[in-house]
C-alpha cells in the first residue's frame, strides 16, 4: 500500500514539475532521476535548478515521499495548477442543545477520558476535491476521485454537492493554499480502493501468463533432455541448450513484469472551497499524564457530528484512540 502511494506521489510530482516548466528524466526502474527547473519553481521548492530527484529519504536532492518537505513546498505551486472555486454559505441553523449526549452516542474513546466543555458557533472551510486518477499497465484504468473534507480536522465526509446548494454563493477567492500532504494521501487511498478490482484482475492475469511461460520453457528443456545422450559432447550440448532456454525465460519474465508494471497517476483537477457555518464542540481529553483540548464539529449541512481523522493515516473514524501526545489515532494505527 505505502509503495503504491510512493509510486503515485512520484508520478504526481513528475507531472506537476513538468506542468510548472520543469524537465524531468526519471525512468520507472531507477531509484532517482534528474530535474531541470525554471528558477521560480526551484525557488518555491527551495532546491537547485538542476537537481537530482529521488524517493529515498537519505538523499540530498529533491526528495519525494510522504515524509519529505516536498509535499509541503508544492502547496506553493499548487493553486496555479488546479482550478479552484470559492463558495460561501452565510447562515445555517446551529444546534443549541447540550452536546454531551450526542457526543457520547456518536463517539467512542477507548483509551482516554473525554469531557465535553462546551459548543460555539464557528466557520469551517469544507473542501471538495476532484482528482483525475489513472493506472497505466497492460490495460488502462481511469477514474475521477471526488471527496469532501473538513479542512480543520482533515476528516473525510459525505456531503452534498455544494454547486447545487442554493444557500452557497460565490465568494472572494481564498488566497491561502490548501494543505496538500494529507489531501494527497487521502486521494491516493480512495484511488487505491477504487482500483482494487482492476489491480487484482491484472495480477491474476500476470500470474496466469507467468505460469504459461514457465511451463512452455520447462517443456522445451524437458524435450531437449529426452534426446539420447551418447557422450560428453552431447551432455555439454544439453547443458548449453538448458542455459540458453533459462536465459530466454528470464528475459521473457522481465518483459512480462514490465508489461504489467503499474504506473499510477493522480492529478488534482478542481477544488471547490465552501466556507460554511459549523458548531465547534470543545472536548477535554485526558490520557495518562497528558491533557489537551480538541475540537470536533457538528455539521450544519448534514445536521450530524463529523468523524475525526487519524493523525497518522488520515482515515476517519468515530472510534478515536489517542497517543501520549493526545494525537488522534484510528483503531488500526493505535494497535501498530
- Residues in contact with Zn ion by CB under 5 A are 310, 312-313, 315, 330, 333
CA distance 278 to 184: 25
Cβ proximity to Zn ion, 148 vs 310, nearer residue: 310
Shorter beta-carbon distance to Zn ion: residue 176 or 332 = 332
Q: Which of 271, 314 has the CB closer to Zn ion?
A: 314
Question: For residues 128, 293, 315 and 2, what is the CA-based torsion angle, rounded to 10 degrees?
Answer: 110
Q: Which is nearer to Zn ion, 103 or 310 (CB)?
A: 310
- Name which of 281 and 333 has its Cβ closer to Zn ion: 333
Nearest approach, Cβ of residue 197 and Zn ion (Å): 24
Q: Least distance from C-beta 192 to Zn ion, angstroms?
A: 15
Nearer to Zn ion, 274 or 334 (CB): 334
Q: Which is nearer to Zn ion, 73 or 312 (CB)?
A: 312
At its nearest, how many Å lie between Zn ion and the CB of residue 6? Answer: 18
**Minimum separation from the CB atom of position 309 to Zn ion (A):** 8
Min dist CB 110 to Zn ion, Å, is: 14
Q: How far is the CB of 16 from Zn ion (least distance, A)?
A: 26
In sign, the C-alpha dihedral spanning 321, 326, 328, 330 is negative
Q: What sign does the dihedral 49-52-56-58 (CA atoms) show? A: negative
* d(C-alpha 100, C-alpha 279), whole Å: 14
CB-based contacts of 271, cutoff 8 Å, min separation 6: 82, 83, 84, 85, 127, 128, 129, 130, 178
DSSP state of 306: P
Cβ within 8 Å of residue 21, ≥6 positions away? 37, 38, 41
DSSP annotation of 298 reads E
| Angle, alpha carbons 143-148-150 (nearest 5°) | 150
Per-position DSSP letters for 190-232, written without gaps between them = HHHHHTHHHHHHHHHHHHHHHHHHHHHHHHHHHHHHHSPP-SH
State the cell numbers at 11: 508520478
- Nearer Cβ to Zn ion, position 271 or 313? 313
CB 307 within 8 A of CB 298: no
Q: Among candidates 332, 300, 297, 292, which has minimal Cα distance to 314?
A: 332
Residue 134: CB minimum distance to Zn ion, A: 26
CB of residue 72 to Zn ion, shortest distance in Å: 20
Amino acid at each position: 500500500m505505502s509503495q503504491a502511494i510512493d509510486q503515485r506521489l512520484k508520478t504526481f510530482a513528475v507531472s506537476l514539475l513538468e506542468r510548472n516548466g520543469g524537465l524531468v528524466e526519471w525512468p520507472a526502474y531507477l531509484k532517482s532521476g534528474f530535474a531541470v527547473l525554471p528558477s521560480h519553481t526551484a525557488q518555491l521548492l527551495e532546491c537547485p535548478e538542476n537537481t537530482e530527484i529521488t524517493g529515498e529519504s537519505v538523499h540530498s536532492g529533491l526528495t519525494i515521499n510522504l515524509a519529505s518537505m516536498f509535499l509541503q513546498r508544492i502547496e506553493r505551486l499548487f493553486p496555479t495548477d488546479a482550478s479552484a472555486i470559492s463558495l460561501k454559505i452565510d447562515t445555517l441553523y446551529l444546534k443549541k442543545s447540550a452536546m454531551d449526549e450526542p457526543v457520547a452516542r456518536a463517539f467512542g474513546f477507548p483509551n482516554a477520558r473525554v469531557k465535553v466543555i462546551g459548543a460555539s458557533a464557528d466557520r469551517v472551510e469544507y473542501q471538495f476535491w476532484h482528482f483525475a486518477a489513472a493506472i497505466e499497465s497492460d490495460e488502462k484504468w481511469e477514474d475521477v476521485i471526488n471527496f469532501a473534507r473538513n479542512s480543520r480536522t482533515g476528516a473525510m465526509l459525505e456531503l452534498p454537492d455544494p454547486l447545487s446548494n442554493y444557500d452557497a454563493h460565490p465568494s472572494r477567492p481564498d488566497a491561502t493554499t490548501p494543505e496538500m500532504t494529507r489531501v494527497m494521501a487521502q486521494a491516493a487511498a480512495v484511488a487505491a480502493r477504487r482500483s482494487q478490482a482492476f489491480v487484482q484482475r491484472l495480477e491474476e492475469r500476470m500470474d496466469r501468463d507467468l505460469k504459461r511461460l514457465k511451463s512452455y520453457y520447462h517443456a522445451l528443456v524437458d524435450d531437449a533432455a529426452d534426446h539420447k545422450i551418447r557422450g560428453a559432447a552431447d551432455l555439454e550440448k544439453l547443458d548449453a541448450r538448458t542455459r540458453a532456454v533459462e536465459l530466454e525465460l528470464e528475459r521473457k519474465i522481465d518483459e512480462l513484469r514490465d508489461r504489467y508494471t503499474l504506473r499510477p497517476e493522480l492529478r488534482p483537477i478542481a477544488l471547490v472551497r465552501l466556507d460554511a457555518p459549523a458548531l465547534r464542540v470543545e472536548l477535554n481529553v485526558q490520557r495518562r499524564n497528558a491533557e489537551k483540548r480538541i475540537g470536533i464539529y457538528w455539521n450544519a449541512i448534514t445536521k450530524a457530528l463529523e468523524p475525526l481523522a487519524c493523525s497518522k493515516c488520515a482515515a476517519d473514524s468515530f472510534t478515536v484512540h489517542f497517543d501520549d501526545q493526545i494525537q488522534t489515532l484510528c483503531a488500526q494505527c493505535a494497535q501498530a
